[in-house]
């Protein structure tokens, strides 16, 4: 075999390997896109079911929390004024 033929053969072998890897990466990409879509759907479902923290507590609990936060703010203000 001539050197050109050997190089040509090596080139085509390498080209086949590259094509094979590209095909595998395309397949993996499709799988990851499907998984991503599934996870986004699941996240949207969870997000729709989720409520904010304040909608689950009573008005008296909200008032108590507001009072505690106000007290903490006053303490911080006093500390900063010193």
pLDDT tens digits, residue range 36-63? Answer: 999 999 998 887 777 666 667 788 888 8
Q: Which residues contact 54 (CB under 8 A, 6 or more apart)?
A: 62
Q: How far is CA 33 from CA 2, 29, 42, 48, 82, in A?
A: 46, 6, 14, 22, 57
**Domain residue extents for the chain:** 18-50, 54-82
pLDDT tens figures, 4-44 = 899 999 999 999 999 999 999 999 999 999 999 999 999 98
Supply the pTM of this predicted model: 0.52
The pLDDT value recorded for residue 48 is 78
The C-alpha torsion from 32 through 47 and 64 to 60, rounded to 10°, is -160
The C-alpha torsion from 48 through 46 and 37 to 24, rounded to 10°, is 170
């Amino acid at each position: 075999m001539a050197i050109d033929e050997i190089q040509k053969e090596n080139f085509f072998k390498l080209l086949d390997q590259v094509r094979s890897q590209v095909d595998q990466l395309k397949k993996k990409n499709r799988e990851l896109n499907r998984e991503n879509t599934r996870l986004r759907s699941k996240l949207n479902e969870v997000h729709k079911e989720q409520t904010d923290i304040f909608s689950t507590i009573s008005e008296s609990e909200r008032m108590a929390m507001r009072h505690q936060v106000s007290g903490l703010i006053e303490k911080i203000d006093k500390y900063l004024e010193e």
